[in-house]
Amino acid sequence: MADVQEIRRQMKELQAAREEAFGPLLDVLEQRHTLQQQLAALDEPYAQAFVAAESAGWTTEELLALGAEEPARRPKGRTRRRNAASGKKASAPSSPAAQVPAQDAEGPAHKPTGIPSA
């Protein structure tokens, strides 16, 4: 059986090699975190610029076709535009009786057709 001290030395060598291999990954993770923070800081100004472009006459579809991405969150205080078809509801008649002309008792007498008058 191997000496306990020898096993401990081998274990520390393996662990050191693993830690060394992890170093470059840790560096890239740190860079990614920094870039993600920078990107998040640009979200609000980007959304404001996107809305300003729309206010200047660009449609969302045009901006997307040109390569812009729709902002994940729009600036507060602005609601999205709705299509005219989806934004408006058809007006329903108030009641069926309002569509039928009223029968007036004092109006001209109605004679049924096909019956001779006396």
Question: What's the pLDDT score for residue 85?
Answer: 54
SS3 of 88, please?
A: coil
Mean pLDDT, rounded, for 54-78: 90
What's the whole-number mean pLDDT along residues 52-81?
88
In the three-class reduction of DSSP (H, G, I as helix; E, B as strand; rest coil), residue 38 is classed as helix
Length of the chain in residues, anyone?
Answer: 118
pLDDT given at position 73: 82
Question: Residue 1 has which token pair?
Answer: 């059986």
Cα separation of 95 and 7, whole Å? 93
Give the per-residue pLDDT at 23: 95
Residue 34: the pLDDT is 98
Report the alpha-carbon distance of residue 73 to residue 69 in Å, rounded: 11
Is the pLDDT reported for residue 99 higher than 60?
A: no
How far apart are the C-alpha atoms of 69 and 46, rounded to whole Å? Answer: 10
Per-residue model confidence (pLDDT) at position 72: 86
Predicted confidence band of residue 2 (pLDDT cuts 50, 70, 90): confident
Task: Give the CA count within 13 Å in the CB-facing half-sphere of 18.
Answer: 6
Structure tokens that stand for 13 in this block: 């060598």
Instruction: Provide the pLDDT confidence category of residue 107 given band limits of 50, 70 and 90.
Output: low
